[in-house]
Amino acid sequence: MKTPLLQFTPKGIYCEQADVYLDPWRPVDKAIISHGHADHSRWGHQKYITHHKNVPIVQHRLGDVNISGKDWGETFSLNNVRFSLHPAGHIVGSSQIRVEHKGEVWIFTGDYKIEDDGLTTPFELVKCHTFITECTFGLPAFQWRPQQEVFNDINQWWAQNKSEGKTSVLFGYSLGKAQRLLKHLDTSIGKIYTHGAVENMTEVLRPLVDLPPTHLITKDTKKDELSGNIVVAPPSAHGSTWIRKMVPYVTATASGWMAFRGARRRRAIDKGFVLSDHCDWSGLLQTVEATGAEKIICTHGYTDIFSKYLQELRYDARTEATQYEGELSEVNATEQEKSEVE
């Protein structure tokens, strides 16, 4: 039987012909990295290849690693296998990885969204024979509203809190979601303050994208300075001693999981805004169809449900186990975020 162009192994997604892994979760010699989130970009590889905008992100997170950057659509060959990176629209520097050998084309999406968020390079559709897709929100219940409507709600919430003399504390993952929030906050309402983890990552991204001024919260920040303004922080800051300085405050989380009834209550959050850096149900289906792919491999999220639905639509669809987490990364506190609580 012919060896598949990409294989799912205990170390990660492996291209045997090129002897390279895509987003491996165990240390390998050569790794092509889709984006900078911790579940896709891990420490310990001998050589990293990624989009050039993701290079400073990986270096910030992993330190002095052997890494090279590529442009969008730039073709590079490893043992006669052709690779190129294409915008995934997930976060800054996020890529789909195109793999071509002997006329056969595979796409590994990593994580992706098809709505243009005004910050990240917009998703680019790439035709292929086999499409490896995430399914983080692969349920019909997940249907996103246009982001402008969500940001109108966020800014109105902030303005209302300010009128009541309260500080608004908005939680979002420090890489990706936080910068998307910063980009669309209405600075005419007040000042934007940040948690250390958010500020540090934002400083890494400022040379790459246009972001508004922010103010880092330190031990010297006075409570009165925060009153009526907004604080952007990672989920790990919720319930910490760090947040006591904001009293009286109102909390909110921006996440796709806020679409679930009870998610906000379980996390003891005052307000939930449904905003995801991943595709909703319709976006996943639209993309699968548009690729023209004959085979679909579902890697993380609601893989069983989504693949079964694709099978009903007559796709050759299956699931594969990986160690990718999708938007669970926004819920689970990371050690880096914990260590950067002031």
Nearest to 185 by CA among 165, 201, 161: 161
CA distance 62 to 204: 13
| Global model pTM greater than 0.85 | yes
Residue 255: phi and psi, rounded to 5, are -165, 150
Is 296 exposed, middle or buried, given 0-12, 13-18 or 19+ CB atoms closer than 10 A?
Answer: buried
Burial state string for 245-275 with b = 16 or more CB within 10 A and e = fewer than 16: bbeebbbbbbbbbbbeeebbeebebebbbbb
pLDDT at 328: 61
Q: Which residues of the chain have pLDDT under 50?
A: 330-342
Beta strands in 160-286 (DSSP E): 167-171, 192-194, 215-216, 230-233, 249-254, 271-273
**Residue 316 vs residues 13, 68, 126, 288, 297: alpha-carbon distances, Å:** 19, 35, 19, 12, 9
Query: What is the sign of the dihedral through the CA atoms of 256, 262, 268 and 271?
Result: positive
Q: So what's the pLDDT on residue 18?
A: 98
